[in-house]
């Protein structure tokens, strides 16, 4: 039996609730964020989030400006009937309607958390190998930060703005193996450009234990709805 699926812009509150309950990181990515929600049988089941990613140089290896590339940074879903690949494909199509100059989407599957990129493989993304080994940093509260989000001085310039960040010496350093990098071209010329980068897909068994849905944890306690107060459509603004 088919289950009705609707994908549309969702509010920040709805996206935050979904990420905190249905994504292993429990944290929202750095703004600006494009928030796209998913509904089955009119019930909110989660969101797909796109952002600039952890670095303003995301598009540099591909000769792209910041407005031409983005990162798929969160897929946070409760139990659902439709496939993640279908939800993701519809979210990308909606993203493209508002961002006609967008040419490439990048995403990363983290083997340190048991992910190998199964949903990207199902959507026929181009696998471009692993990033270099790196470190994450855990502050005194237990929050884990990307290496670009900490500094020796406690101040870091991110997207042209100076921000207060954790000091490296106040954090515990956590070694990590490289993440799997996936690319999704949005036009024929970009598809041709990145094709030489294509490598064989990594297999699940080489990445350690996996999380349900690859990048998705199971919903907590079977909860599937955020409640009416969180489901406002603010047209992504």
DSSP result, 41-86: TTEEEEEEEEE--S-TTTTGGGT--GGGEEEEEEEEE-S-SS-HHH
- Model-level pTM? 0.78
CB 13 within 8 A of CB 230: yes
What tokens does 12 get?
């920040």
Query: Domain limits of the chain?
Result: 5-129+179-230, 134-176
Q: How far apart are the first and last CA of the chain?
A: 35
205 three-state secondary structure: helix
**Phi, psi (deg, nearest 5) at residue 217:** -80, 165
- Chain length of the chain: 237
What tokens does 110 get?
């983290």
Distance CA 148, CA 158 (A): 9
**pLDDT for 189-228, tens place per residue?**
999 999 999 999 998 754 443 333 333 333 333 333 333 3
**pLDDT for 64-85, tens place per residue?**
999 999 999 999 999 999 999 9
CATH architecture of 5-129+179-230: 3-Layer(aba) Sandwich (3.40)
């Amino acid at each position: 039996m088919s289950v009705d699926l609707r994908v549309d812009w969702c509010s920040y509150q709805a996206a935050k609730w979904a990420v905190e309950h249905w994504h292993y990181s429990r944290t929202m990515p750095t703004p600006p964020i494009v928030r796209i929600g998913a509904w089955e049988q009119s019930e909110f089941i989660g969101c797909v989030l796109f952002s600039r990613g952890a670095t303003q140089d995301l598009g540099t290896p591909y000769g792209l400006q910041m407005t031409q590339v983005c990162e798929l940074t969160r897929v946070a879903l409760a139990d659902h009937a439709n496939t993640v690949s279908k939800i993701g494909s519809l979210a990308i199509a909606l993203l493209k309607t508002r961002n006609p100059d967008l040419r490439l989407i990048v995403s990363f599957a983290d083997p340190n958390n048991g992910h190998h990129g199964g949903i990207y493989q199902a959507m026929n993304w181009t696998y471009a190998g692993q990033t270099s080994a790196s470190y994450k940093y855990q502050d005194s509260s237990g929050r884990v930060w990307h290496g670009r989000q900490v500094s020796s001085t406690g101040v870091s310039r991110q997207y042209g703005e100076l921000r207060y960040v954790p000091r490296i010496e106040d954090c515990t350093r956590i070694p990590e193996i490289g993440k799997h990098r996936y690319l999704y071209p949005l036009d024929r010329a970009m598809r041709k450009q990145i094709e030489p980068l294509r490598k064989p897909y990594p297999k699940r068994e080489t990445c350690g234990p996996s999380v349900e849905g690859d990048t998705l944890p199971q919903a907590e306690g079977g909860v599937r709805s955020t409640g009416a107060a969180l489901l406002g459509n603010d047209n992504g603004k």
